[in-house]
Structure 1
Amino acid sequence: MARAATTSDAFNAIAEPQRREILLLLRGGERPVTELARDLGMTQPQASKHLRVLREVGLVRVRGAGKQRLYALDARGLRPVHEWVGGFEQFWHETFGRLDEYVRDLKQGKTGGTAG
């Protein structure tokens, strides 16, 4: 019986730490699977499996160069993740704003207590 696909979108694909590491390595430019496998301490078949998943969800692209296949980051596939995380930006701004205000209040209370 064939296994069901474990990834169907960028969110599921990047949930796997080794796939995130591959994306980080590919930020530096195209790399062959053998280099990626070596740098990640995994076998070439393991790296190829991860790359296939990343390619299927549109996070990497591949091109042939002689006998090699070079993989490159396609950050456009991360747009849904970016947009989802961006939705929390206002929350973080408000939270940090409240924290700044709290720290200012503490400092004022501290200096106000020593001045009197």
Structure 2
Amino acid sequence: MTLVNKAARPRFDVRIPGDLESGVWANFATIRHSPYEFTLDFVRQDFKGESPVRGVLVQRVNMSPMFVAQLIDVLNEDFSIFERQQSESLRDGSWWEVPGDDE
């Protein structure tokens, strides 16, 4: 995929309805596809040591294969930037430490 010069990229004015501003938390996802679309189900699972693990579907997103390919490209690009910025804390696990938590 050829990246477009950032200055030439269109600007978007996306309005977020109030009930969606806080977003949702997901810690698990399932993916299904047909020749025409992909469906991503985002789930919040509660890990209480129970089997089966219980979860709640928090969002279902349907998208075209072309959009999935573009999303994968931009996620890879952005995660590479994140890894470079956070490489030390990712390696030593300090990104997970909570200040003042001595346990």
Q: Please give the TM-score of this superposition, normalised by the length of structure 1.
A: 0.24
* Structure of larger gyration radius: 1
Greater strand share, 1 or 2? Answer: 2
Higher relative contact order (CA 8 A, sep 6+): 1
